């Protein structure tokens, strides 16, 4: 065996072993391929018609894709470069008018590949660096390199999840990952079913639709006209997807009954029980409760065990919307917060959130084999032939509300292989440590105020910044109205300067506050410090 | 300026100009980077935790992604290499058990990147080469290199379509492309709206839901209970998505009324009118007709003008499901087949089909501004704040039935830039020429039989292969039953041998036939010849 050396740069705490012999050669070549300006090919007279499948298009294809890689690597490096900005803000009309030659209009005639490469660079230049350590704007932040490789491969495989016939490997991976997720929830082997869907809202719709079919199977053929007035229950701080889904399913948003929350955003079970009884008295037909594990704003976990007891008492379907919280099941330290989830009939769990999987990756898990299939199948002859040479139980496409379905599984499978469950656990625990760090810092600062006092259970930390102009002023209605305008103004300045991105919003009668979330493995304590300093810097004169 | 040379290999009819000076250097380097086995780094002790955002992870990230690119390029080259197979078939249980060390099970512990790279290679090895010139299995075949680059960039940008705030460039691109598509349909400027959705079935659902809301806006809050018995009409050969959507929306599949088709699969307008009148007599409430432009099996175009007249007469919403046919609007030669589409209230159009855009890319276009927004919006405070510093009309996410939405627009936009409308036109016209070539060939062969005699209007060609054992036999019930088994057996052998993939199916009382479609720009006449020879070779002994 050859002697091995290290490719780690000076100061790297984790040395990596590589064949020494190849290192110099490799570095030199990469430098030339990836960095040197001199080395760019001239694509000014090459067109898409020169690429594969055109005869002899192999070389051009390779060169073009290497150039694309160079642009993407440049974006990745800038994303993680401490000096770069999160965004370079421009208004919609500026983009529409064309920025420095970045013309978005389409034409009849083709552009040479040189222009296409410039367009790729420009697109990234004016996009948000969602993997940047100071991008805290959404529940899905970060850019996982393994997940990214998974997406590139998925795009290259360019297939569809309808049948095993055309997606054999991905269909099996989906089965394996779904089983793993079901096992982590605590469901028995072979007890459950599931599918990856285009996002948490659609996953929640799946659960509501499956539950409706379970209680009222005639709905599939006869429609809602054959049903009594069905009503569902979810907390006032749950995600708006239950209203969306009820509007779509023909249940109607008036039949979504909001349950009160305590001051930190957890559903109050006694209010749930009261409202179930009230609905029954009014002749409505309760059938479905959605509890939330990790609310969007406060990161609250509803009391699942008590809710499960209530659902059992009244014979209701229990759904847990763990789109945001699901990943916490991988943390031995924190998963107790979701005790009771194993009693749910269905669970939404988005690996594209705290687990850091690239968008989109959302699973709906249903604790009843065959229900999705019965609810959704239409047996199209052109896809789901029964006289195929393999076990057609693997043609899972007829379980879905879609026909074609994007391959969302591979990146998650690959990340799970690369990190192991332990790797996800470490990554998630670190996000919770950061939220505790922010919480402690906020408590020690007099010009910041927490929206609720308790230590956060998850990575959401909600707070106000109180500028000097509002510090020694009576806290009356006018004060509240003025405070309401502070966060949007600071956010606007943040975007203008491009230094950091964080979300804000009002809630009930609470004026606009900042909602911090941690889901980006790139974020560090110094980024938290930066955020607070930046809020002070941008907001102190308001 | 430097002297320019050509990078084209001998025999290439389209020479390309490149800076001569760089060519040799480039070729030599690429050889070393992309091909040489000796050149592979040792990733056996490198883990995902060594990649970015880990400190000093830049080099490892770059090397890893270059290795991934090498694997993907290898797959692309094999896809277009005339000698390679379309697939390497294995049964589900074989993949589950693990093939030659390809272990799909997940574990607690991480795998080194060396294993991750092997997993990537194995995943592609056992997947279908959907860009292969002899992959004819679905309406979406092919692997467009520009589209592929677009998907890689989309994955690297890793954002979400909910707001302009986090997807500024992609939101504007979506607006521009939707306008272009509306203009191509023939709608007036600023008359229409639209959105990209996760596939044609969801796009069709959007249209049905928007139409329902338009006629019965109370459905959003009160549900279907507040409506009369609404019914919809679509041809018996239309896509099954209307049944799926009706089941989901709570309309019920019994309220989807099937209209008869003529022998080549076109909706018979007189039957539509009869059934509308019959429904009215029965106290049902007709409100929606879906015509198909390019049926899934026969590739038939419904008579849109006559259907538009009927819809106008009875005040019904006219939808055109042009998921498959939409691209034909770009062909000056063929677009007359869709005359009348400009009178539709909504159109589904999937650029991921005949236009060759990678999966997924589907648009729903609605000829009424504001309807999607009114129908779907729920005004979530945490996303759609009204006090933002830019024009929030560009926060299009509340128009959708989703919350998070994958960026499907960039690849299409980039392909449009690279090809121009003209490029799409050429590509599509060539697919139609191939179907005519196949049609002519089939007419000249006595052991093949067309499912319908007329020249195809689109790229679908449906036919039976009659093996010698069925040639001189009375065409009775038993003959039909035997013929029914021929296509599945040939298909099973095709998959076993991996040489070609084509779909088959029964339709009504017609026994299993092959459905050929052309959407793959890589396919040539020689591939058509190969297909027929292969069917004969595999089927003659049956």
pLDDT at B37 over 50: no
Which of helix, strand or coil describes residue B503? strand
By C-alpha distance, which of B143, B150, B105, B124 is closest to A153?
B124
Provide, as residue numbers in chain B, all residues whose Cβ is less than 8 Å from the Cβ of A500: none
Q: Do A13 and B55 touch (CB under 8 A)?
A: yes
Task: Give the closest of B26, B95, B378 to A244, CB-based.
Answer: B378
pLDDT band at A15; cut points 50, 70, 90: very low
Chain B contacts of A115, Cβ < 8 Å?
417
Q: What per-residue confidence (pLDDT) applies to B369? A: 96
**CB-CB under 8 Å, A252 with B221:** yes
pLDDT of A28: 47
Using the predicted structure, report yes or no on whether residue A31 has a pLDDT greater than 70: no
| pLDDT (average), residues A361-365 | 98
Entry field: residues in chain A:
542
More confident residue, A496 or A3: A496
Question: What residues of chain A lie within 8 A of the CB of B28, using their CB?
Answer: none
Q: Provide the CATH topology of domain A171-407.
A: 3.40.640
Which of B155, B220, B405, B485 should one mutate to test binding to chain A, selecting the residue with the greatest count of A CBs within 10 A?
Answer: B155
pLDDT of residue B187: 98
Nearest CA distance, B507 vs chain A (angstrom): 8
Q: What pLDDT is attached to residue B349?
A: 98
pLDDT of residue A447: 97
Q: Which among A4, A221, A378 has CB closest to B254?
A: A221
pLDDT band per the 50, 70, 90 thresholds, residue A283: very high
Strand spans (E) along B305-369: 317-322, 346-349, 362-366
Q: Name every residue whose Cβ is closer than 8 Å to that of residue B503 and which is 6 or more positions away in sequence.
A: A382, B136, B137, B138, B514, B515, B517
Q: What pLDDT does residue A36 have?
A: 40
Contacts of B148 in chain A (CB under 8 A): 65, 155-156, 158
For residue A381, name the pLDDT band (cuts at 50, 70, 90): confident
* Cβ atoms of residues B242 and B280 within 8 Å: no
CA distance A129 to A124: 8
Which range, of A320-324, B53-57, B341-345, averages the lowest pLDDT?
A: B53-57
Measure the CA–CA gap between A29 and A7, rounded to whole angstroms. Answer: 15
CA distances from A320 to A250, A287, A365, A368, B488 (A): 22, 14, 10, 15, 43
Confidence at residue A3, expressed as pLDDT on a 0 to 100 scale: 33
The neighbour count for residue A40, using CB atoms within 10 Å, is: 15
Flag whether pLDDT at A21 surpasses 70. Answer: no
* Contact predicate A309/A328, CB 8 Å: no
Mutation site, B29, B112, B156, B527, interface A, largest A CB count within 10 A: B156
| Contact status, residue B39 vs residue A22, Cβ threshold 8 Å | yes
Among A223, A253, A402, beta carbon nearest to B250: A223
Judge: B46–A17 Cβ closer than 8 Å, yes or no.
yes
Alpha helices in B1-107 (DSSP H): 20-30, 58-80, 92-97
Q: Residue B7 — pLDDT band, cuts 50, 70, 90?
A: very low
Domain boundaries along the sequence of chain B:
1-39, 192-376, 417-539
- Long-range contact set of residues A453-459: C-beta below 8 Å, sequence gap at least 24: A454/A264, A456/A299, A457/A299, A457/A300, A457/A301, A457/A337, A458/A294, A458/A299, A458/A300, A458/A301, A458/A324, A458/A325, A458/A328, A458/A337, A458/A432, A459/A299, A459/A354, A459/A431, A459/A432, A459/A434, A459/A435, A459/A517, A459/A518, A459/A519
* Contact between B186 and B335 (Cβ < 8 Å): no
Q: Answer yes or no: are the C-beta atoms of B330 and B116 closer than 8 Å.
A: no
Mutate to test the interface with A, among B17, B29, B106 (most CBs of A within 10 A): B106
Which chain B residue is nearest to residue A330, measuring alpha carbons?
Answer: B108
Q: How many CB pairs under 8 A join A and B?
A: 611
Instruction: Tell whether the model's pLDDT for residue A17 goes beyond 50.
Output: no
Residues of B in contact with A50 (CB under 8 A): 14, 16
C-alpha to C-alpha distance for B208 and B251, rounded to whole angstroms: 10
Which residue from A16, A142, A394 is facing B92, i.e. has the nearest CB? A394
Reported as a pLDDT band with limits 50, 70 and 90, residue A12 is: very low
Of the options 2.30.40.10, 3.90.1150.170, 3.40.50.300, 3.40.1410.10, the CATH number for the domain spanning B417-539: 3.90.1150.170
CB A356 within 8 A of CB A431: no
pLDDT digits (tens, 9 = 90+) for A476-495: 999 999 999 999 999 999 99
Chain A: closest CA distance from residue B320 (Å): 17
Q: What pLDDT is recorded for position B393? A: 93
Longest Cα separation, chain B: 80
d(CA A488, CA B71): 46
B88: which chain A residues are within 8 Å (Cβ-Cβ)? none
Lowest mean pLDDT among A28-42, A305-319, A420-434, A452-466: A28-42
In chain B, the residue whose alpha carbon lies closest to the alpha carbon of A16 is B46
Instruction: Determine the residue of chain A that is closest to B49 in CA distance.
Output: A419
Q: What are phi and psi of B346, to 5 degrees?
A: -155, 150
Nearest CA in chain A to B204: A402
**B217: pLDDT confidence band, cut at 50, 70 and 90?**
very high
SS (H, E, C) B483-497: HHHHHHHHHHHHHHH
**What is the mean pLDDT of the segment spanning A369-390?**
92
Cβ–Cβ gap A148/B155 under 8 Å: yes
Domain at B192-376: CATH code: 3.40.640.10
Q: Is the pLDDT of residue B38 over 50?
A: no
For B444-457, write each residue's pLDDT tens digit. Answer: 999 999 999 999 99
Question: How far out from the chain centre does Cα B194 lie?
Answer: 18
Across A28-32, A83-87, B78-82, B357-361, least confident range: A28-32
Over residues B234-266, the pLDDT tens digits come to 999 999 999 999 999 999 999 999 999 999 999
Q: Is B408:B169 a contact under the CB 8 Å cutoff? A: no
Radius of gyration of chain A from Cα atoms? 26
Cβ-Cβ contacts under 8 Å, B146 against chain A: 48, 51, 116
pLDDT over 70 at B201, yes or no? yes
Which of A90, A498, A503 has its CA nearest to residue B169?
Answer: A90
Q: A299 with A322: CB under 8 angstroms? A: no
pLDDT score of B383: 87
Q: Average pLDDT of chain A? A: 93
In contact, A428 and A328? CB cutoff 8 Å: yes
A-chain residues near B39 (CB < 8 A): 22, 25-26
Cβ contact A104–B413 (<8 Å): yes
- The residue among B277, B280, B227 whose CA lies nearest residue B249 is B227
Task: Return d(Cα B407, Cα B413) in angstroms, integer.
Answer: 11
Number of helices and strands in chain A (H, E): 16, 14
């Amino acid at each position: 065996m050859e002697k091995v050396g290290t490719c780690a740069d000076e100061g790297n705490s984790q040395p990596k072993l590589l064949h020494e012999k190849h290192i110099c050669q490799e570095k030199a070549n990469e430098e030339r391929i990836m960095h040197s300006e001199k080395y760019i090919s001239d694509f000014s007279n090459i067109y898409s018609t020169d690429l594969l499948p055109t005869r002899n298009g192999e070389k051009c294809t390779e060169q073009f894709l290497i150039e694309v890689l160079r642009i993407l690597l440049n974006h990745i490096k800038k994303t993680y470069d401490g000096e770069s900005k999160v965004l370079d803000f421009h208004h919609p009309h500026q983009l529409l008018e064309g920025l420095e030659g970045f013309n978005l209009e389409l034409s009849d005639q083709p552009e040479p590949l040189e222009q296409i490469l410039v367009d790729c660079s420009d697109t990234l230049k004016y996009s948000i660096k969602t993997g940047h350590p100071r991008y805290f704007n959404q529940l899905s932040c970060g850019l996982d390199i393994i997940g990214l490789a998974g997406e590139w491969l998925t795009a290259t495989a360019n297939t569809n999840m309808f049948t095993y016939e055309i997606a054999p490997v991905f269909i099996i991976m989906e089965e394996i990952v779904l089983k793993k997720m079901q096992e982590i929830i605590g469901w028995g082997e072979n007890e459950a079913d599931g599918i990856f869907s285009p996002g948490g809202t659609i996953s929640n719709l799946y659960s509501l639709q499956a539950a409706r079919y379970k209680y009222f199977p005639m709905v599939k053929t006869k429609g809602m006209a054959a049903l009594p007035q069905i009503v569902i229950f979810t907390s006032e701080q749950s995600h708006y997807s239950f209203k969306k889904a009820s509007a779509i399913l023909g249940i109607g948003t008036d039949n979504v009954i909001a349950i009160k929350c305590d001051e930190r955003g957890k559903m109050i079970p006694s209010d749930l029980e009261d409202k179930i009884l009230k609905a029954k008295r009014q002749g409505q037909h309760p059938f479905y409760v959605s509890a939330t594990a990790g609310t969007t704003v406060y990161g609250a976990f509803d009391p699942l065990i008590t809710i499960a007891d209530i659902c059992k008492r009244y014979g209701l379907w229990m759904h847990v919307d763990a789109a945001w919280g699901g990943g916490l099941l991988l943390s031995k330290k924190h998963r107790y917060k979701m005790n009771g989830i194993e009693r749910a009939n269905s669970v939404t769990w988005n690996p594209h959130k705290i687990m850091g999987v690239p968008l989109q990756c959302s699973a709906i898990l249903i604790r009843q084999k065959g229900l999705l299939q019965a609810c959704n199948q239409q047996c199209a002859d052109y896809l789901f032939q029964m006289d195929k040479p393999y076990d057609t139980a693997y043609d899972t496409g007829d379980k879905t509300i879609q026909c074609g379905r994007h391959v969302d599984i591979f990146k998650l499978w690959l990340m799970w292989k690369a990190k192991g469950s332990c790797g996800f656990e470490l990554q998630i625990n670190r996000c919770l440590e950061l939220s505790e760090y922010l919480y402690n810092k906020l408590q020690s600062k007099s010009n910041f105020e927490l929206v609720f006092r308790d230590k956060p259970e998850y990575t959401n930390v909600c707070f106000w910044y109180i500028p000097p102009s509002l510090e020694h002023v009576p806290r009356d209605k006018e004060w509240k109205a003025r405070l309401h305008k502070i966060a949007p103004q600071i956010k606007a300045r943040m975007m203008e300067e491009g230094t950091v991105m964080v979300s804000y919003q009002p809630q009930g009668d609470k004026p606009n506050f900042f909602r911090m979330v941690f889901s980006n493995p790139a974020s560090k304590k110094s980024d938290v410090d930066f955020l607070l300093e930046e809020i002070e810097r941008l907001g102190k004169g308001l």
